[in-house]
Structure 1
Amino acid sequence: MSVSWKKGLATVASIGMVGVLLAGCGTNSTAPASNGSSSSTGSNSSSSKPVEGGSITLDSTQAVPDLDPAIAFDTTSAEVDEAVYDTLITYSKNTYTIVPDLATSWDVSPDGKTYTFHLRQGVEFSNGDPMDASDFVFEFQRLLDKNMQPKPSPGNQFFMDIQGAQAYYNGTAKTISGVSAPDKNTLVIKLVKPEQFFLKVLAMPFASAVDPAFVKKVGNAAMDTTEAMGTGPFEVQTNNQNQTVLVKNPHYWKKDSYGQQLPYLDKITINVNNNSTVDALHWEQGQTAFMSPWLMGGDGIPTAQFPTIMNSPKYKNMVLKQDQNSIYYIGLNVKPVLNGKPNPLSNVKVRQAMEYAFDDSQFIKINNGAVLGLNQPLPSTMEGYVQNLDPSATYSLDISKAKQLLKEAGYANGLTVDMWDENTDTAQKEDQAFQSMMKQIGINVVLHEVTWKDFLTKAMSGTAQVYQSGWVQDFPDASDFLNTLFNSNQIAAGNNMNNYSDPQVDQWLNQAEYSTDAQERDKLYGQVINKVMSDAAWIPTIQNIGYYCVQSWVHGFYTSPVMYDPFGSIWVDPGHNS
């Protein structure tokens, strides 16, 4: 499959229903951590007392583009930022349960609009500076500063419902009226409307504690590229295009139940190597500690090596599986006139014909069975997923019906469309398969395969007639998929890339966005899903399963449907340094 998603963080991929650890090896008895931290049990844990010290080496297919948590909006950056920075709240291990992190507790007002967080005392940044509530106020100001240099935060969109956020963003207010620190240990956030998912938004790396004195000293540019200062388990020693090195934060506040200070590891070295086949070979030879979707992209195991690893008696017992809230789809642009020409895809029957001509089993085969089929714009692991779609929203492979629909639409002699995608090997195979499927019903697909950057420029302009893209959760809620991808107010933002617009769908989405009734939200989102699928807004293709290949000498590793790799809980066999 493609290794890129349009936007989003898979940690926060992210996220819904409780995720399940599907497979693994080893025992599950590492002692839990204290001080509010989650335990380090997992499918690669040991019954013995965790050993402090040691180091691991990892491979990554991409360099870390953004160290600044206010700027990072990609999975590679989030993998590192989550190890360096802490947020007010986080998720418990491999669940969707929100638990304390830098906040020990919080209160929510009866109207759901005021959140009061009580902060953990005695926490320090890795340089020894004390952390307090004003550090979060400072970070929210950075998030909502549209003129921040060298670039503003892409995360501001998630916090616009805070009182005064829009005024501060517009430059008409010098402070954010809805964010305050009554004292060093208390943070108050006030919303203009209640958001059922607001805690999930706060668990995103954007809302991390940062050290104002350090940021002002080094500047935003250095903060994003070579410098970092958080309260997390590790600090950045090196970050460049070839390597990222993390070392133990000596001031980290968490300890395990044995009284040992976390993290256990002294050092993590991440080497950048975009040859995923070589990365897999390094792991097979024991040179690297683990492979994961956040390091390797896609499902975590390079496509070419998937059969070898999964069919090997030696390696298959080292593989963990985790359902992921990430999907892929083929977008069908519904704009009546596109690039100065009448667009046949504005006719719903043409789009429905393409739905009936699509065979997801071919995409599954291309990906060596490492993915699941998809029939709607939500992954099956997400709360709000519709178990039984309406008949009008359900499609199966039916070439005769597809041809009949094209005839009814006035295209009995066929038509030609342009398709855009990134130029990776797997994406090209999928594009060619789709091209062959459409040819069976008389649709000629002209392929334009370009770099990921150029693809985004074209698709986000709203001028790509057909395109293949994907979405990974920013936070675990159906709104992050449905409202972002189908609300007409997202056309200008470049998220609704196929120009889909329906007043009834907008009404349902806007109502669900601020409803605090979970059953009502599920009902509304179900109506949205059935409507956009009846309208054949786009063709769902596949959803990801995350595969994690973990060496037997690595302990404390666990998977999560929301969080990135648990660097803070990992320990290795005594004397083992990879």
Structure 2
Amino acid sequence: MKLFTAALLATALSLPLAGTAAFAATPADALVVAQNIDDIVAIDPAQAYEFTSGELNTNLYDRLVQYDAEDTTVLAPGLATEWVADDAAKTITFTLRDGVTFSSGNPVRPEDVVFSFSRVIKLNKTPAFILTQLGWTPENIADMVTVADGKVVVKYDGDFSSAFVLNVLAARPASVVDEVTVMANEVDGDMGNAWLNTNSAGSGPFVLADYRPAEIIRLTANANYFKGAPAMKTVIIRHVAEAATQQLLLTSGDVDIAKNLTPDQIGSLPADSVKVETFPQAAVHFLSFNQKDEALTPPAVWEAARYLVDYDGMTKSFLAGQMEKHQAFWPKGFPGSYDETPYSLDVEKAKQILADAGIKTPITVTLDVINSTPFTDVAQSLQASFAEAGINFEILPGTGAQVITKYRERTHQAMLLYWGPDFMDPHSNAKAFAYNSNNADDAYAATTTWRNAWAVPQEMNDEVTAALAEPDQAKRNELYVDLQKQVQETSPIVIMFQATYQVAMAKAVNGYVNGATSDFVYYRLVTKQ
């Protein structure tokens, strides 16, 4: 089979992007994926911040605690089998799993955890902010993460619940790397950064065997993985930018999975040989109103807007398979989510709300939108339904960079955008949608509240702070549910949808897991029958 796998790799490298030749089915112990992977800037978990690199990190590395393939909504033991939190002392003590080794054969030691966290802080690359939230700095990290009696002791500085800290430690930059191997490949004091961008040094289910930018990624199974070796001995991810070519390769049997097909292509796949699985995603899509515009400040405008969105019409037509109706800031499927959807299209009710509040119509509002599908389609649907109540949208399409820059400068009127959490803790979104302690123009904050100049009521700010510090997880979840209800009912932000993601694959493929973010993509359980 080794020769067969090698032959497959040679074929994968030589395949034209399009053509008429038919190729043999992929080997039983190899998974071949067609995917656009040109977003990768870095693979080193201390630097990686792109979608595809997040997927790779999850399959190459473990964390002390992690959302794993068996259930991507449950925070589970990873390299740590147990932990004891002391909220008063602001410490969590982790007991490591016995007998776990890195792919190099080196044992996973408490010292590797200390090194990995310290390395992220000292390198200070893009994702370091996730860990520095815990009060860690290059100057104090040696005191904040230590080894005591063979256990890892993590200290944090801030009014955080231990549940929040655990979710931070389940994030990508908290991946544990092999200190011995990494430092053996250090160049000019880079702590192995350059080497880890083309190699791996983890304990995860796979090892990075080959990476060629915008060409191919090859993973090989870690036979000694502590949860058992993956059934797929090899995972080959081919860079195929064109969705039409991905479709061709899938239907001809040259790849097992196609990741980037359009809804039209999904709908035209042959049902006898291909299946499509749909996965809810963490991103929520919303319409928001800038409170710098006096015409958009009356709460009646916000309330009426909630009844002028054709949620069902869009999700059942051009958004089918891409989005589902969701009206709260935390995505469903995770602790603390609020999944009720009380609003639906009701133009007459919206008109009555505006009339009762003395709002004079028509109102003309510019609506900024990214100039690509499905965003422009959503904008046109909103334009049509809002016009029936006398709110006239003038659609201003722009590139993603143009739209987001305008949003950050608070120079828009209405904005159509989406938001995804940086890590899977509800505070990541509560801070974005329900907190704004300083609404001044010079107090920039990367939140939807500040960018829409919404001076959040102090009571809501206080509740966000309280939820972050609440040690009881059940009470904490209740606070986040309450915050979502408040934002849903009384904010200038109209949350409409939660993204979904469709993956097409050969019918023989089973066990592919795609959670709510790219960090939750798993190949470990894949089989082919």
Give the TM-score range, shorter chain: 0.7 to 0.9
Deviation at 1:83, TM superposition (A): 1.4
Whole-angstrom CA distance in 2 between matches of 1:331 and 1:467:
5
Show the counterpart of 2:10: none
What secondary structure does 2:143 align onto?
A: coil
Whole-angstrom CA distance in 2 between matches of 1:253 and 1:419:
51
Structure 2 residue 184 is matched with structure 1 residue 236: no
Post-superposition Cα deviations, 1:406-463, rounded to whole Å, max 9, x if no partner, equal: 4566653423322223222222211222222223233332333333334333323443
Deviation at 1:366, TM superposition (A): 1.3
Whole-angstrom CA distance in 1 between matches of 2:272 and 2:256:
15
Show the counterpart of 2:373: 425
Cα distance change of structure 1 residues 134 and 251 upon mapping to structure 2, 3 Å threshold? farther
Structure 1 segment 424-463 matched on structure 2, within 5 A: 424-463=372-411
Show the counterpart of 2:308: 357
Post-superposition Cα deviations, 1:163-211, rounded to whole Å, max 9, x if no partner, equal: x52xx26xxx35342211236x421112344332432322222101123
Structure 2 residue 248 is matched with structure 1 residue 281: yes
Show the counterpart of 2:427: 479
Which residue of the other structure, out of 180, 187, 203, is the alignment partner of 2:152? Answer: 187
Cα distance change of structure 1 residues 72 and 527 upon mapping to structure 2, 3 Å threshold? same
Which residue of the other structure, out of 118, 121, 129, is the alignment partner of 1:156? Answer: 129
8 Å CA contact retained: 1:232, 1:249: no
Structure 2 residue 288 is matched with structure 1 residue 331: yes
Post-superposition Cα deviations, 1:478-501, rounded to whole Å, max 9, x if no partner, equal: 323223332115973312332332
What secondary structure does 1:512 align onto?
A: helix
8 Å CA contact retained: 2:222, 2:230: no
Show the counterpart of 1:177: 143
Post-superposition Cα deviations, 1:52-91, rounded to whole Å, max 9, x if no partner, equal: 9842221123422331212333432211111121111223
Whole-angstrom CA distance in 1 between matches of 2:222 and 2:349:
66
Whole-angstrom CA distance in 2 between matches of 1:386 and 1:83:
30
8 Å CA contact retained: 1:87, 1:202: yes
Deviation at 1:102, TM superposition (A): 1.9
Counterpart code for 1:427: F
Cα distance change of structure 1 residues 250 and 355 upon mapping to structure 2, 3 Å threshold? closer
Which residue of the other structure, out of 90, 108, 121, is the alignment partner of 2:85? Answer: 108
Structure 2 residue 457 is matched with structure 1 residue 502: yes
Show the counterpart of 2:263: 303
Structure 1 segment 116-265 matched on structure 2, within 5 A: 116-145=93-122, 148=123, 152-161=125-134, 164-165=135-136, 168=137, 173-182=139-148, 185-192=150-157, 193-212=160-179, 214=182, 217-218=186-187, 219=190, 222-223=194-195, 225-248=197-220, 252-254=224-226, 256=228, 262-265=229-232
Cα distance change of structure 1 residues 69 and 458 upon mapping to structure 2, 3 Å threshold? farther
Structure 1 segment 355-394 matched on structure 2, within 5 A: 355-364=306-315, 365-368=317-320, 371-386=323-338, 394=342
What secondary structure does 2:218 align onto?
A: strand
Unaligned runs of 5+ in 1: 1-51, 257-261, 337-341, 574-578
8 Å CA contact retained: 2:130, 2:173: no
Whole-angstrom CA distance in 2 between matches of 1:456 and 1:128:
46
Cα distance change of structure 1 residues 78 and 375 upon mapping to structure 2, 3 Å threshold? same
Which residue of the other structure, out of 516, 524, 529, is the alignment partner of 1:568? Answer: 524
Counterpart code for 1:267: T
Whole-angstrom CA distance in 1 between matches of 2:267 and 2:331:
24
Whole-angstrom CA distance in 1 between matches of 2:401 and 2:438:
20
Show the counterpart of 1:345: 296
Post-superposition Cα deviations, 1:241-280, rounded to whole Å, max 9, x if no partner, equal: 4223223266744363xxxxx2343432222233223323
Structure 2 residue 504 is matched with structure 1 residue 549: yes
8 Å CA contact retained: 1:363, 1:542: no
Which residue of the other structure, out of 61, 68, 76, is the alignment partner of 1:99? Answer: 76
Whole-angstrom CA distance in 1 between matches of 2:350 and 2:330:
24
Cα distance change of structure 1 residues 516 and 112 upon mapping to structure 2, 3 Å threshold? farther
Deviation at 1:314, TM superposition (A): 1.6
What secondary structure does 1:304 align onto?
A: helix
Cα distance change of structure 1 residues 222 and 423 upon mapping to structure 2, 3 Å threshold? farther
TM-score, normalised with respect to structure 2:
0.80
Whole-angstrom CA distance in 2 between matches of 1:411 and 1:459:
26
Structure 2 residue 494 is matched with structure 1 residue 525: no
Unaligned runs of 5+ in 2: 1-26
What secondary structure does 1:384 align onto?
A: coil
Deviation at 1:367, TM superposition (A): 1.5
Show the counterpart of 2:65: 89
Counterpart code for 1:567: Y
Post-superposition Cα deviations, 1:140-184, rounded to whole Å, max 9, x if no partner, equal: 223334xx3xx62334245523xx52xx26xxx35342211236x
Structure 2 residue 49 is matched with structure 1 residue 73: yes
Whole-angstrom CA distance in 1 between matches of 2:418 and 2:72:
23
Whole-angstrom CA distance in 2 between matches of 1:323 and 1:277:
24
8 Å CA contact retained: 2:206, 2:219: yes
Whole-angstrom CA distance in 1 between matches of 2:264 and 2:145:
49
Whole-angstrom CA distance in 1 between matches of 2:178 and 2:409:
37
Count residues in correspondence: 485
Cα distance change of structure 1 residues 217 and 110 upon mapping to structure 2, 3 Å threshold? closer
Whole-angstrom CA distance in 1 between matches of 2:220 and 2:464:
44
Whole-angstrom CA distance in 1 between matches of 2:106 and 2:407:
44
What secondary structure does 1:438 align onto?
A: helix
Deviation at 1:510, TM superposition (A): 0.8
Cα distance change of structure 1 residues 381 and 102 upon mapping to structure 2, 3 Å threshold? closer
8 Å CA contact retained: 1:88, 1:100: yes
Post-superposition Cα deviations, 1:85-131, rounded to whole Å, max 9, x if no partner, equal: 11112235025333332223333337483222222345444344543
TM-score, normalised with respect to structure 1:
0.74
Whole-angstrom CA distance in 2 between matches of 1:483 and 1:556:
35
Show the counterpart of 1:7: none
Cα distance change of structure 1 residues 369 and 223 upon mapping to structure 2, 3 Å threshold? same
8 Å CA contact retained: 1:67, 1:223: no
Post-superposition Cα deviations, 1:377-429, rounded to whole Å, max 9, x if no partner, equal: 2334343344668xxxx543232343454456665342332222322222221
Post-superposition Cα deviations, 1:12-48, rounded to whole Å, max 9, x if no partner, equal: xxxxxxxxxxxxxxxxxxxxxxxxxxxxxxxxxxxxx
Whole-angstrom CA distance in 2 between matches of 1:117 and 1:519:
22
